[in-house]
């Protein structure tokens, strides 16, 4: 193999390596009560931004709306956000986080929901978004059974998502950030079992 062929091969491997899907890691806790309760009506709380400098702020509402859409695809019935917000007014739990069971117990059934979905963003780093479409994140997600007063499913998820999901990303920075948020939502809801029935 001559030098030119070797360089071409190494370049090809380099491009393949760059195109590989970013690593996303998770820890999931799926309780048997989720299948037993089979919740239908889900109250999706406002997404909590616990990232340093609250860097996820611009995409939080978009993220919540996409979570609601993704729940429908998994056969759940998300309550309208205006209904949830009218009945569960505290977007952030006093002195804690919305994913804490103690907080969720205090707001359970206020919107007549079967379960509450709470998302906490611990890291949202768009530093590489304009350069290579990537956002590094770390998040905690909880599905809390309102009737049983306990967590039915929880997920710790961290890693990197790519705006556009490997397709061409938008040139508009705000749209590109939303595309990254959409990929995050896909990763989250991909771990939630579909509802029976």
Strands 115-125 and 48-49: parallel
**Higher confidence at residue 22 or residue 82?**
82
- pLDDT score of 3 more than 80: no
Each residue's pLDDT tens digit, 115-129: 999 999 999 999 999
Q: Whole-angstrom Cα distance, residue 70 to residue 65?
A: 9
Q: What is the pTM of this model?
A: 0.87
pLDDT at 10: 38
For residues 100-110, one letter each, b for 16 or more C-beta atoms within 10 angstroms of the residue's C-beta and e for the rest, the string is: beebbeebbee
pLDDT at 107: 93
Please provide the average confidence, as pLDDT, over all residues in the chain: 89
State the DSSP H helix or E strand holding residue 32, giving kind and residue range, or none if neither. Answer: helix 32-37
List the domain boundaries for the chain.
Answer: 22-189
Tell me the CA distances in angstroms from 44 to 98, 177, 195, one per residue in order: 11, 21, 16
Percent of the chain surpassing pLDDT 70: 86
Q: Whole-angstrom Cα distance, residue 30 to residue 164?
A: 29
**Higher confidence at residue 156 or residue 88?**
156
pLDDT at 21: 55
Task: List, as one string, the DSSP characters of 94-152.
Answer: TTS-TTSHHHHHHHTTTT--SEEEEEEEEEEE-TTHHHHSEEEEEEEEEEEETTTTEEE
Q: Whole-angstrom Cα distance, residue 154 to residue 107?
A: 18
Q: Whole-angstrom Cα distance, residue 62 to residue 178?
A: 7
pLDDT at 192: 96
CATH classification for the domain delimited by 22-189, as one of 3.30.420.10, 3.30.450.20, 3.40.50.10610, 3.30.565.10: 3.40.50.10610
pLDDT at 96: 82
Each residue's pLDDT tens digit, 75-133: 999 999 999 999 987 555 667 899 999 999 999 999 999 999 999 999 999 999 999 99
Each residue's pLDDT tens digit, 161-171: 999 998 899 99
């Amino acid at each position: 193999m001559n030098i030119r062929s070797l360089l071409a091969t190494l370049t090809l491997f380099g491009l393949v390596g760059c195109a590989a899907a970013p690593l996303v890691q998770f820890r999931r806790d799926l309780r048997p009560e989720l299948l037993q309760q089979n919740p239908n009506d889900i109250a999706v709380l406002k997404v909590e931004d616990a990232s340093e400098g609250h860097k996820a702020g611009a995409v939080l509402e978009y993220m919540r709306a996409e979570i609601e859409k993704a729940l429908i695809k998994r056969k759940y019935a998300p309550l309208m956000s205006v209904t949830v917000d009218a009945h569960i007014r505290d977007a952030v739990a006093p002195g804690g986080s919305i994913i804490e069971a103690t907080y969720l117990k205090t707001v359970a059934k206020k919107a007549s929901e079967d379960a509450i979905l709470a998302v906490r963003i611990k890291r949202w780093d768009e530093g590489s978004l304009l350069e290579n479409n990537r956002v590094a994140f770390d998040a905690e997600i909880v599905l809390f059974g309102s009737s049983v007063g306990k967590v039915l499913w929880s997920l710790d998820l961290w890693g990197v998502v790519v705006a556009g999901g490997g397709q061409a990303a938008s040139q508009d920075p705000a749209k590109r950030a939303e595309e990254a948020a959409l990929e995050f939502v896909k990763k989250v809801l991909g771990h939630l079992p579909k509802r029976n029935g």
